[in-house]
Chains A and B, each alone.
Chain A
Amino acid sequence: MAKYAAPGQPDGVVTYRDRYDHFIGGEHVPPAKGEYFANPTPVTGEDFTEIARGTAEDVDLALDAAHGAARAWGKTSPADRAAVLNKIADRIEANLEALAVAETWENGKPIRETLAADLPLAVDHFRYFAGVIRAQEGGISQIDEDLVAYHFQEPLGVVGQIIPWNFPLLMATWKLAPALAAGNAVVLKPAEQTPASIHVLVELIADLIPPGVLNVVNGFGVEAGKPLASSRRVAKVAFTGETTTGRLIMQYASENIIPVTLELGGKSPNVFFADVAAQRDAFYDKALEGFTMFALNQGEVCTCPSRALIQSSVYEQFLGDAVERTKAVKQGHPLDTETMIGAQASNDQLEKILSYIDIGKQEGARVLTGGERADLGGELSGGYYVTPTVFEGDNKMRIFQEEIFGPVVAVTRFSDYDDAVKIANDTLYGLGAGVWSRDGSVAYRAGRDIQAGRVWVNNYHAYPAHAAFGGYKQSGIGRENHRVMLDHYQQTKNLLVSYSPNAQGFF
């Protein structure tokens, strides 16, 4: 067992500053109105730094800086931009431990996840987009012997990005890497729940990026996010979050006739066919782990496998083993490398999860394990901890239909293949899904029949770059984590060129 020291402790690997301003035009810029807000760690509930409370004036300043830098950045060669992205990746990799501790302190997630997933994935993501921008090709279409259509990709210009709090650094990376690779300048608004870790990263990489190409404005959604999302000076808005805000951002975008990409969450089914339990072997063990993935990142993942569907013939056995596996999840100090589940990211998130556990019980769902706030004692008593919770119930219940965004799975049974697909698709959302079977044909067909942008087959919660990620139905618009995301950050320029010396013949 190893436990990292908290940021700022004598033996700590990272220190947060007492205060963070905006990062605009390569400089740290105080907020125009001079106000700051306190930022607590969910690990203990104590404030550890204060953050600029940005307003429309700060967003305007950032947009000025971005517009000042966008043209030159968009003209740099793909090789030069790729080199910058690779250097950013190298810098993150060289400081991986420090960033992991900073992220855990900011968000509450266990250090073993930030060390093994969040930060390594961020490193790889920058490298991936460094690669794909080098490999991107335009097109040449010969319309006829004398007429040729050339297609070029050009950057959009200045884009706005609004980042969620569940993976503050990785989600910023998912949005930044393709935008920068494509040659855009960015104004980025971190979530107000997790506004600080991005500044630790920005300080590490500031010297690698031309001033104004990346700007970070902090603040509350209504005070800083809205002026950014509704600005006439952004060419695109990217947002990860909830449906109502997503619709509002689309409404603003419709006023300005600009595109949006939206990732709005889900209620992902995790489907276990009977043959999973045919043997008690490594695959069975893997499937049980797959069930327990609902607790990854405290369930604060848009693709949390929050509905488990188990085939009736093996229901009792599999669910019994899955509950035991869930009980073995170790809850503890997020900076302890043995800890598997840490703190929920904020007090309001904790309250919301508890309110859903309440309505689940009222609707008659049975709690098989968990179902309460956890008091881990000592300094952690002030933190926001929930025990991993397994509900058994019916897919019509609200806990089966609404995104709780906590370590809560709702379990039900299905009779056969058609029943499985019907229940899996009985949801407003279509972001993720899991399918578990030893029969490749069943797994393939279920994977195709379930309406979701990402279906994991015999695995879950893997997020490698080069595997497209995004939603069907109300889960959003666009595909991140793949080279197709470049299309969402680029215009298509067509040069239609005539090589004929003769008049076209109309006049």
Chain B
Amino acid sequence: MPRVALTPEAADVLRRLRADHGELMFHQSGGCCDGSAPMCYPAGEFRTGSADVHLGDLAVGEFTVPVWMSAAQFEHWSHTHLTIDVVPGRGSGFSLEAPLGVRFLVRSRLLDEEEL
């Protein structure tokens, strides 16, 4: 059962970023300031490892974008489904979308019993 999804608006931003930067990835950040938000990087820019969980791959037409989260954080998120959306915004760490004047955002809902 998919844990992650994408709004059409976020998919449009990913298409632009893909054209400029090549293959992409997300890593959901915890912590302060620009945290608690999905960070978008060129694939491989952020090195994932045994401390991370692969939540799924977002299909954006002909390409896909993997979504990662730290395993420790996943323990607290595992009962929720995440939809990556985009809102007007300014900064987001080193995430690729910020110069476009937008920022990715996670919208959450509880997984129902069938999904769990």
Q: Which residues of A contact B (CB under 8 A)?
A: 37, 53, 164-166, 191-193, 220-223, 225-226, 229, 240-248, 251, 263-266, 302, 346-348, 351-352, 355-356, 358-359, 362-363, 396, 398, 401-405, 428-429, 474-475
Q: Which residues of B contact A (CB under 8 A)?
A: 27-37, 39, 41, 45-47, 70, 72-73, 76-77, 80, 87-96, 98-99, 103, 105-110
Partner of A362 from B70, B72, B110 at Cβ < 8 Å: B110
| Interface contact B96-A474, CB-CB below 8 Å | no
Residues of A with C-beta under 8 A to B110:
362-363
| Interface contact A403-B35, CB-CB below 8 Å | yes
Chain B nearest Cβ from A66, distance in angstroms: 21
A355 to B28, CA, bound (A): 15
Residues of A with C-beta under 8 A to B27:
244
| Interface contact A428-B72, CB-CB below 8 Å | yes
Partner of B108 from A246, A346, A398, A403 at Cβ < 8 Å: A398
Residues of A with C-beta under 8 A to B80:
359, 398
Partner of B30 from A164, A225, A240, A403 at Cβ < 8 Å: A403
Residues of A with C-beta under 8 A to B91:
165, 191-193, 220-221, 346, 348
- Assuming the contacts A348-B105, A359-B108, asked whether A403 and B89 have C-beta atoms less than 8 A apart, the reply is no
Chain A nearest Cβ from B109, distance in angstroms: 6
| Interface contact B93-A245, CB-CB below 8 Å | yes
Residue of B nearest to A475 (CB): B31
| 6 A-B residue pairs with CB within 8 Å | A222-B96, A242-B35, A266-B32, A362-B109, A398-B80, A405-B36
Residues of B with C-beta under 8 A to A221:
34, 91-95, 98
Partner of A242 from B34, B77, B106 at Cβ < 8 Å: B34
- Assuming the contacts A251-B46, A346-B90, A346-B91, asked whether A244 and B29 have C-beta atoms less than 8 A apart, the reply is yes
Residue of B nearest to A364 (CB): B110
| Interface contact A193-B31, CB-CB below 8 Å | no
A251 to B47, CA, bound (A): 8
Chain B nearest Cβ from A365, distance in angstroms: 12
The 10 closest A-B pairs by CB, nearest first: A265-B32, A242-B35, A348-B89, A244-B29, A245-B93, A265-B31, A243-B31, A242-B31, A401-B76, A192-B91
Most buried by A among B33, B34, B36, B37: B33
Residues of B with C-beta under 8 A to A428:
30, 72-73, 76
Partner of B33 from A166, A220, A363 at Cβ < 8 Å: A166
Residues of A with C-beta under 8 A to B70:
243
| Interface contact B98-A222, CB-CB below 8 Å | yes
Partner of B35 from A222, A241, A401 at Cβ < 8 Å: A241
Chain A nearest Cβ from B94, distance in angstroms: 4
Residues of B with C-beta under 8 A to A243:
29-31, 35, 70, 73
Partner of B90 from A193, A223, A398 at Cβ < 8 Å: A193
Most buried by A among B34, B37, B41, B99: B34
Chain A nearest Cβ from B10, distance in angstroms: 13
Residues of B with C-beta under 8 A to A251:
46-47
| Interface contact B32-A241, CB-CB below 8 Å | yes
Residue of B nearest to A302 (CB): B32
| Interface contact A220-B99, CB-CB below 8 Å | yes
Residue of B nearest to A53 (CB): B99
| Interface contact B31-A241, CB-CB below 8 Å | yes
